[in-house]
Amino acid sequence: MSISDIKKEFAQADINEYSSIIEKYKDDTRSGVVKLIQSAEKNIEKHEKELARMYRMFNYERQYRGEGNVCGIDEVGRGPLAGPVVAAAVILPEDCDILYLNDSKQLSEKMREKLYDEIMEKALAVGVGMADEKVIDDINILQADYHAMRIAISKLSVKPQVLLNDAVTIPGVDIKQVPIIKGDTLSASIAAASIIAKVTRDRMMVAYDGVYPGYGFASNKGYGSKEHIEALKTMGPCEIHRRSFIKNFV
């Protein structure tokens, strides 16, 4: 076979099929084939490392699975000057095969979007809650966080028996809670929740950019970038600005 045909064979194969393809061409001494095999072997090694990492990411889920459905909780948007805080609750299946789950801040936008679709497709249940700028100004950001989390839990179609939370204990919830420091890097369910919350909020802020132009919401997502602060000073606040957050700028 030509080198281009072999390259196409690798490209069209699932990574689990790489080993058999390597075996087929292992005695081919052409430099192009040797490079293709070396590249495939590196991809297999990378894939195996990711499988091992994801196995560790499900340690908490395995620990509490005997008690029932385990749900990860996380939120985004505590720091921005505008827009809502968004929380997500995610219950993943026991045989979940999603790879690359991690703290949403450590993932590229492209990867977050890809994982968002995969999580929504494969999760047993997903709930999303939010608190807008008026609620944040009224009850403060921490209480608004808790409010959004409670809404997210209430929107789950499957009732959880254990909540894995990123660092916090949510008041007013009568479900067992396990707060985990840096949970979005240690628990697959919390990582999944962080991705759902992040993508949901980012999409909202992009839409708000069209409604309230000039603040750069599509790029800064409501955070206090230089462009955003200058716009606040020259244009004043818009409807979705958190009045309790912008006192130093307006």
Q: Give the tens place of pLDDT for each residue, 187-236.
A: 999 999 999 999 999 999 999 999 999 999 999 999 999 999 999 999 99
Q: How many helices (H) and strands (E) does the chain have?
A: 10, 5
Whether 75 and 148 have beta carbons less than 8 Å apart is answered as yes
pLDDT at 140 over 90: yes
Average pLDDT, the chain: 97
- In the structure, what pLDDT confidence band is assigned to residue 74 with cuts at 50, 70 and 90? very high
- pTM, rounded to two decimals: 0.92
Q: What is the pLDDT, as a whole number, of residue 123?
A: 98
> How many residues comprise the chain?
250
pLDDT at 174 over 90: yes
Which tokens sit at 62? 């395995």
Give me the mean pLDDT over the 60-84 stretch.
98
Taking CA atoms, 124 is separated from 13, 60, 88, 209, 245, in Å, by 29, 17, 14, 33, 37
Report which of 131, 143, 196 is spatially closest to residue 171, judged by C-alpha positions.
143
Report which of 149, 118, 123 is spatially closest to residue 135, judged by C-alpha positions.
149
Whether 223 and 202 have beta carbons less than 8 Å apart is answered as no
Q: What is the pLDDT, as a whole number, of residue 250?
A: 82
Q: Which positions ≥6 away from 109 have C-beta within 8 Å?
A: 202
Q: Which amino acid is at 242?
A: R
Whether 205 and 221 have beta carbons less than 8 Å apart is answered as yes
Give me the mean pLDDT over the 102-114 stretch.
97
- In three-state secondary structure terms, 196 is helix
- In the structure, what pLDDT confidence band is assigned to residue 239 with cuts at 50, 70 and 90? very high
Cα separation, 16 vs 22, whole angstroms: 11
